[in-house]
Chains A and B, each alone.
Chain A
Amino acid sequence: MKILLIEDDTQVAEFVASELSVAGHDCRREARGDVGLDVACASPFDVLIVDRLLPGLDGLSIIERLRQRGDQTPALVLSALGDVDDRVKGLHSGADDYLIKPFSMAELLARLEVLHRRGAAPGADTVTSLQVADLHMDLLRQQVARQGKALNLQPREYKLLEYLMRNAGQVVTRAMLLEHVWGYRFDPQTNVIDVHVSRLRQKIDREFDHPLLETVRGTGYRLGPETKR
């Protein structure tokens, strides 16, 4: 994945860039906002990582200008702790996701993968059904079946599975699940998500030979086999 990282904090930028290349991504670093915008305009990237406050041009303005030009490259905003309004402002400017520093690299990587896939497959919102291996979800009738056998899911379990299926083959973190399935961004003190996931797992995996829902140690969960980049 080709990533443009616009971040003026050298330490953070170096760390993120090196971790991204370890993960097999092609990362370009810029420290100034205005230069970053030029670079983003000049050549295509798969995902942008933009710091909130930058010399030259701030992160949100970069994304705003790109969107004005019709550039829909998925963008993730990094913001320092503090401003509660950051999320609202960030998503308003056209950013697709945001992370508050300090963040874990696993969280960033998982979010980048999801953003990348969403960017690469536009129109995913208009599909009427989802299929992962032998697991089928009918989005119109809100029914789930595995190997043709209907599964009875609670509304929250259904939403949880839908999110996992939409991002099948990708690692999704617990924070991402909370954010997209429950609609809140917060840090749970305990493994409250795990209980929900294990309930879902019981319903979709227990009576079948090969499990689909896998726990990724230290990061989160993945539905279906890992997709190769």
Chain B
Amino acid sequence: MHPVEVLNSLTFRYIAKYVAVLSASVFLILGAFYVYFSYTSFRDLGLSVLEELQTLSAVYSSESLQGVEHYIDAQNAVPAVHRFYYLVSDAEGNPVAGNLPPAPRYSEFDDGWLGFEMALRDWGGPVDVDFLARPIALGDGYEAIVARSYADIVDRARLVFSNLVRAMLATLLLGIIGGYFSAARALNRVERINRDLARVIRGDPGQRLDVTGEKGYVRALVLLMNEMLEQMESLMQGVRRVSDNIAHDLRTPLTRIRNDLTQLRDQPQPVAREELARVIEECDDLLAAFSASLRISTLESGSRFAATTQVELQRLLTDVVELYEPLAQKRDIRIALDATGELLCPGESDLLFQMFANIVDNAVKYTPDGGEIGVRLRSDADGNCLVVISDTGPGISASERKNVFRRFYRVEASRSEFPGHGLGLSLVQAIAQFHHGSVDLGSANPGLQVRVRLPASLSPPRSDDR
């Protein structure tokens, strides 16, 4: 993997940001420590100078100037790393005691503190050293100045500061190196997923991503992707099956149309209107099948019905039965409607009518002459509307019952005998599900029993209830 790729990766950038924030916080914490350290060091220094001044003042008041001179000499005689420097001057400003040069260039600090720079020779060469000093009046016009260098504090502060920067740089460096390797690792896993996916795209839909060695969220992601691939494959198979069925279904009417047209072409006399009308009818039939198929897709893919209208199922079923009665009577089939009670269903009446019409239509189609069809409306144990439509036809074998809801699926036996495109029951199911309901098939011994469950809405209070 190219390093630039790693550096550009999301993981690396994320880690880099994190490390930057982390080192900034390290810097802040240590910085606060640095400030505190410098502050206390200077405060201690100031306190020691003040203490020394007190001592000088005490020595002067008890032993006068000679005592002070002795004290200073005694102090200078003691070897110490951080010595005090003294200067005692008389009222005219002439130095009378001490080891400071007479008039260093003082710079005034706050609260009577003075600061100056002085070259010291005793540290292996002339070095400019910063001093903190404070004057005090001893009495009789004498003034004493006690000074102490703070180079050591500055040195220590510098040491702390440089260590601080080093610590920060180390954090950054370690973080970035760690980040680089984590990002490279993450990228490696992504790369593997990419390779596998590319194989799927190149036309191996059976290919799945490798889960071995994957842990945690990557594993979850890979599993999810595998599931997605699984679903896509089954959808693709579904689409292929539907299009195969469509092709199959198209062949028959198209062949018929073609035959009709061939006959028309071969006829010596002018084209007969009747023949043409039949061809057009065939085309209309095909168009209707496609519209129906589209309609099912729309119902299946769209959002579910949001209850805005109520349908009185008893009236609706009465209308359906009334519509199909003449057709049934022609073949001596009796339709028995058993619908009582005021069951209301939240739904779209046109769609519900379409659904029950399709079921009754099928029942009439498959019931032999002189048979019977029953349409029964009840409310089931859960309070839902239950419509059971049974016939005395051949029924559908248990193994076929699931299949008949598939679009363009037709029971083999009926393919040749009855016209149709195998969309009726698909539409029934789509409409039932659109209304948050369900449909299932059973046996009416020996006929088919279609059970439709639809949610019921609470019946409006009847006038005699009040």
Residues in A lying within 8 Å of B, measured CB to CB = 81-82, 84-85, 87, 102, 104, 106, 156, 182-192, 195-196, 199, 217-218
Closest chain B residue to A178 by CB distance? B323
Answer whether A186 and B284 are a contact pair too, CB < 8 Å, given A156-B322, A192-B361: no
Q: Are B281 and A217 in contact (CB under 8 A)?
A: yes
Besides A186-B351, A188-B361, A195-B327, 15 more A-B contacts (Cβ < 8 Å) are A81-B291, A81-B298, A84-B305, A84-B351, A85-B308, A102-B294, A104-B287, A184-B349, A185-B350, A186-B354, A189-B362, A189-B424, A192-B361, A196-B326, A218-B281
Question: What are 17 contact pairs spanning A and B, CB under 8 A?
Answer: A81-B291, A84-B305, A102-B290, A102-B291, A102-B294, A156-B322, A184-B349, A187-B291, A189-B357, A189-B361, A192-B323, A192-B324, A195-B330, A196-B326, A199-B326, A217-B281, A218-B284
Q: Are A182 and B361 in contact (CB under 8 A)?
A: no
Kindly list chain B residues whose C-beta atoms are within 8 Å of the C-beta of A186: 350-351, 353-354, 357
Kindly list chain A residues whose C-beta atoms are within 8 Å of the C-beta of B326: 192, 195-196, 199
Within 8 A of A (CB), among B300-333: 302, 305, 308, 319, 322-324, 326-327, 330
Q: Are A187 and B292 in contact (CB under 8 A)?
A: yes
Q: Are A190 and B298 in contact (CB under 8 A)?
A: no
Shortest Cβ distance from A175 into chain B, in angstroms?
Answer: 11
Indicate whether B280 reaches chain A with its CB closer than 8 angstroms: yes
Interface size, chain B (Cβ < 8 Å)? 38
Q: Are B327 and A189 in contact (CB under 8 A)?
A: no
Closest chain B residue to A184 by CB distance? B353
Closest chain B residue to A196 by CB distance? B326
Kindly list chain A residues whose C-beta atoms are within 8 Å of the C-beta of B349: 184
Kindly list chain B residues whose C-beta atoms are within 8 Å of the C-beta of A199: 326
Closest chain B residue to A179 by CB distance? B350
Q: Are A184 and B330 in contact (CB under 8 A)?
A: no
Q: Are A190 and B302 in contact (CB under 8 A)?
A: no
Closest chain B residue to A194 by CB distance? B327
Shortest Cβ distance from B330 into chain A, in angstroms?
Answer: 6
Indicate whether B451 reaches chain A with its CB closer than 8 angstroms: no
Indicate whether B254 reaches chain A with its CB closer than 8 angstroms: no
Indicate whether B232 reaches chain A with its CB closer than 8 angstroms: no
Kindly list chain B residues whose C-beta atoms are within 8 Å of the C-beta of A102: 287, 290-291, 294
Counting chain A CB atoms within 10 Å of each CB, the highest count among B287, B330, B357, B420 belongs to B357
Identify which of A85, A182, A185, A217 contacts B277 (C-beta below 8 A). Answer: A217
Kindly list chain A residues whose C-beta atoms are within 8 Å of the C-beta of B291: 81, 102, 187
Residues in B lying within 8 Å of A, measured CB to CB = 273-274, 277, 280-281, 284, 287-288, 290-292, 294-295, 298, 302, 305, 308, 319, 322-324, 326-327, 330, 348-351, 353-354, 357-358, 361-362, 364-365, 420, 424
Kindly list chain A residues whose C-beta atoms are within 8 Å of the C-beta of B280: 217-218
8 closest pairs, A vs B, by CB? A186-B354, A217-B277, A184-B353, A195-B326, A185-B350, A189-B361, A195-B327, A81-B298
Q: Are B350 and A190 in contact (CB under 8 A)?
A: no
Interface SS of A by simple majority: loop
Q: Are A190 and B327 in contact (CB under 8 A)?
A: yes
Counting chain A CB atoms within 10 Å of each CB, the highest count among B308, B349, B350 belongs to B350
- CA distance in complex: A54, B424 (Å): 33
Kindly list chain A residues whose C-beta atoms are within 8 Å of the C-beta of B290: 102
Shortest Cβ distance from A222 into chain B, in angstroms?
Answer: 15
- CA distance in complex: A215, B292 (Å): 25
Answer whether A81 and B295 are a contact pair too, CB < 8 Å, given A185-B350, A189-B361, A195-B327: yes
Kindly list chain A residues whose C-beta atoms are within 8 Å of the C-beta of B424: 189
- CA distance in complex: A218, B353 (Å): 24
Counting chain B CB atoms within 10 Å of each CB, the highest count among A82, A182, A192 belongs to A192
Kindly list chain A residues whose C-beta atoms are within 8 Å of the C-beta of B350: 87, 184-186
- CA distance in complex: A81, B357 (Å): 20
- CA distance in complex: A84, B351 (Å): 9
Closest chain B residue to A87 by CB distance? B350
Kindly list chain A residues whose C-beta atoms are within 8 Å of the C-beta of B302: 82
Identify which of B294, B354, B361 contacts A81 (C-beta below 8 A). Answer: B294
Shortest Cβ distance from A148 into chain B, in angstroms?
Answer: 28
Kindly list chain B residues whose C-beta atoms are within 8 Å of the C-beta of A182: 319, 323
Kindly list chain B residues whose C-beta atoms are within 8 Å of the C-beta of A183: 319
Kindly list chain A residues whose C-beta atoms are within 8 Å of the C-beta of B351: 84, 186
Kindly list chain A residues whose C-beta atoms are within 8 Å of the C-beta of B322: 156
Counting chain B CB atoms within 10 Å of each CB, the highest count among A87, A104, A189, A217 belongs to A189
Shortest Cβ distance from A45 into chain B, in angstroms?
Answer: 28
- CA distance in complex: A53, B298 (Å): 17
Shortest Cβ distance from B216 into chain A, in angstroms?
Answer: 43
- CA distance in complex: A191, B420 (Å): 12
- CA distance in complex: A104, B105 (Å): 108
Identify which of A188, A196, A217, A218 contacts B357 (C-beta below 8 A). Answer: A188
- CA distance in complex: A82, B227 (Å): 30
Kindly list chain B residues whose C-beta atoms are within 8 Å of the C-beta of A217: 273-274, 277, 280-281
Kindly list chain A residues whose C-beta atoms are within 8 Å of the C-beta of B354: 184, 186-187
Closest chain B residue to A107 by CB distance? B284
Kindly list chain B residues whose C-beta atoms are within 8 Å of the C-beta of A195: 326-327, 330
Closest chain B residue to A199 by CB distance? B326
- CA distance in complex: A190, B324 (Å): 10
Shortest Cβ distance from A163 into chain B, in angstroms?
Answer: 15
- CA distance in complex: A187, B420 (Å): 13
